[in-house]
Each structure stands twice: as structure tokens, then as C-alpha cells.
Amino acid sequence: MGKYLPTEPYRGTRDFLPEEMSVRQQVFQRLYEVIEVFGYQRYDGPVLELTEIYEAKSSREIVEQQLYTLTDRGGRRLALRPEMTPSVARIIAGNLGRLTFPVRWYSHPNCFRYERPQRGRVREHWQINVDLFGSSSSAVEVEFIELIHAMMAGLGATEDMYVLRMSDRVLLDAIFTEILEVEDEQRRQVAGLLDRWEKYPEDKLRADAEEIGLSESRFARLREVVQAGEEILPELSEQARAGSKLIEVMNSRARDRIKVDPLIVRGFDYYTSTVFEVFDASPQNRRSLFGGGRYDNLVGLYSAQAVPGFGFGMGDVTLMDFLSTHGLLPEPANKVDAVVIPTAEALFEPARTAAAQLRAAGVRTTTPLESAKLGKEIGRADKAGARAVVIIGEQDHAEGMATVRDLVSGEQERVALPDVANAVRKLL
């Protein structure tokens, strides 16, 4: 006997059986509906992009460690997209003459990153991306705060189940300059230290700080900044505060729906001001679910025209973990609504005709492919989740009738063949 090919998917990717796909489709459809109510339109782009669009502004970790790359026959360096934001900026720049701003778009691409698979991280994931281009107003931030809360509510989540934590790159730079007096060449490393603050014990953080050249006194001051949270903001200069979108948000009606937190850094180089992350509040899953922010210079990689942008990506892995943790995952939907069962070989054609009428009425309908005992076919229909079976017997057919059985109550009735669709739809 020869060696069989493996049945497991490539490490870090997943198979989705119909029951899982049903749950996923229900979750995503709820999110699509909320996003579209806010006026966002769906778009898409290619899974292959030039590697250089990620080298320009994505995080070093993605570019240096996580890109799936290839070289085509023309010598062009390509990558499987690890994220969607550089792609949408490219699309916006390439269609500037056709667009009316502000542009509200969303997408649901699959993305690829060579990561070590673990809880919350895989190598292929699906991510709902929502972006707005063409406005520098802090009203954009306010709209996204409202949108995010509406999306979570659409999934059945209450606001005590998660926390929207928001920071600002402008304020962070001011903290580095005015309070911590961090050298320019240290800023990226100190930002990375902040990003890891809640993930490691203090001894590890102190050792990392020493490694990047941060003195003990500056490390102590950094700890004070972290502990102070938004209370550190009054210590910043008026000039720094005046350039912050977050300060404007804090003076808006959205203030009570966010937590101001200087620990929110985000690893992407393209963010220019406001950044945020949504965290699960459950002790069983206390982690970041998704995040995003303002990127006012990204379209400038492709065009001389400045187009400010704001957006976020919501990955499916952490989202499903969140819904599972809080008992919010929907049940799989029925695979089929009705099954039309002929009791004899000669009745297969009339059964197919009845099934066609049901489908035309929007009823998900199947018919057996081979002859079997009636009891066995009814059992199959019940296992498939059907609500009804339509039995075409010889006497029924001769009289232009059919028997419709409710698989929940067990009740049944004989109806004229033209009325079968209405009888089944009443049960549904």
C-alpha cells in the first residue's frame, strides 16, 4: 500500500467544516450589517502585493520575520498580504480622480503571516478592515468609537465585556521628549518596551531597559508614566497637547466610551496620531482583540496628494476566542429546510419537480439520490436539521397530493402538490 498524502492542513492554517462556516457566516454577517449601516462600502484587492509596500511602513517584525515572499518569473519580489492597510492606501492613491471624499470602505481579506501558531495567532487569518479616507477632523475618531461599540453590540457584547483603550503617537512622542528625555535613536525601542509592559514581569522589563541603554532613573520615570495613565497629560506642553487628536476626543461626547492609556503603542510605522486597541475584560481571555488608528501619510507613498486616513483590522481568531469566552457564539444554522422523499423509484421525477417548486419559494431543499426505506430517509432528514419532509407516495402522486410532515411536532397533513411550498413555509 502506497503512502497517503497528509490530511492535516499546513501548520497555522485551518479547515472549516460546514457547521463552523455557519457560525462564522452568522458572526460576519452581523458585522457587515452594522458597518454598512454606518455608510461603509465593501471593496477588495489582490492577495499578492509588491514586497516593497510593506517594507516602506509596516512593522519590522512583519517585514523581517513574518512575510511569505516569492519572486515571480519577471524577477519581481512579491508577498502574500500580511495586512490590508498598505493595499487600501495603494488603491485609494490609484483612483484619486474617481473618488469623492470622505471615502468609507471596508473589506474582509484573508492575510498571511509566518508566526508561531498559538492561542490567538495562526498563519492565515481573516480580518475585517474598516477605513475612512479624506478627513483630519477628530470627528473621524468619534465616529469610529461609535462604530466599534455598535459592532460589539451587534455581536451581543455589553460594554463591561471589553475595553476600548486609546492613545496618541503625538502625545507619546511628547512624553519621550519632554518627560523621559529619550534620545531619538532609542524611541522605537522604548516604544517596544511600553508595548510589552503588561506581558512581562518588572525584572524582565528592567533588564530590557538596561539593554537598550535606559538608565535606572529613566526606567523608574517610565514606570511612573505608565501608572499615571492619562494623569500624565497635564504635564505635557500646550504645543504637544494642541497637536493631539486624542485631546479633542477627550473633549467630545465619546470621552466616556474610551480609556486613555499611554501603553497603547501599536507596532506599525504608518500610524501618525491616535491609536487604539480593544481588550477583552474577562480574566480568562485578557488580551488585545483588535486595534488600529490614524495614518495621515500612508497614501503619500503612492501619490503627491495628501489623503489622511483612519482605520482598523478585526481578526477572526481573537474575535472568535472573545465570543467563545463570553458565550456569544451563535448555534450552527440548519443545513436544509426540507427533504422531498419519493417512496418508489418511479416517483423520483415528481419528487424533483416538487423540490424545484420549494427552492423557487426560497426553501432549502434536497432529495435522495438513491432509493432507500422511508424511515431511513426521514432519519437522514432529521439529522440534517430539516424542519419538514415532503413524502411523495404512489397514491399521493396519483391524486396530485403530497404528505408534509413536521419533524419537530411529528404532525403531518396531506396537501395538494401546488400548495406544498406554502405548507412547508408555514412550518419554517
- Cα distance between residue 324 and residue 329, in whole Å: 6
Strands 110-112, 124-133: pairing kind: antiparallel
What's the Cα-to-Cα distance from 54 to each of 81, 86, 106, 236, 299, rounded to whole Å? 9, 7, 20, 33, 13
Q: Tell whether residue 83 is among the known ligand binding residues.
A: yes
Q: Tell whether residue 271 is among the known ligand binding residues.
A: yes
HSE-CB at 70 with a 13 A cutoff on CA atoms is 8
Q: Tell whether residue 68 is among the known ligand binding residues.
A: no
DSSP 394: H
Cell of 390: 415532503
- Cα distance between residue 256 and residue 126, in whole Å: 31
User: For residue 281, what are the β-bridge partners?
Assistant: none
Q: Tell whether residue 239 is among the known ligand binding residues.
A: no
Q: What are phi and psi of 68, to 5 degrees?
A: -90, 115
b/e per residue 361-376 (b: at least 16 CB within 10 A): eebbbbbbeeeeeeee
**Do the Cβ atoms of 286 and 310 come closer than 8 Å?**
no
Q: Tell whether residue 4 is among the known ligand binding residues.
A: no
Q: Tell whether residue 227 is among the known ligand binding residues.
A: no
Spell out the SS3 assignment of 170-233.
Answer: HHHHHHHHHHHCCCHHHHHHHHHHHHCCCCCCHHHHHHHHHHCCCCHHHHHHHHHHHHHHHHHH
Three-state SS for 335? coil
Rounded to 5°, angle at Cα 50 from 46 and 51: 125
- Cα distance between residue 53 and residue 81, in whole Å: 10
- Cα distance between residue 406 and residue 245, in whole Å: 59
Q: Tell whether residue 270 is among the known ligand binding residues.
A: yes
**Do the Cβ atoms of 271 and 242 come closer than 8 Å?**
no
Q: Tell whether residue 21 is among the known ligand binding residues.
A: no
Q: Tell whether residue 272 is among the known ligand binding residues.
A: no
Count the Cβ atoms, other than its own, within 10 Å of residue 76: 12
User: For residue 121, what are the β-bridge partners?
Assistant: 118
**Do the Cβ atoms of 66 and 113 come closer than 8 Å?**
yes
Annotated binding residues, written as ranges, equal 83-85, 113, 127, 131, 266, 270-271
Annotated binding residues for L-histidine, written as ranges, equal 83-85, 113, 127, 131, 266, 270-271
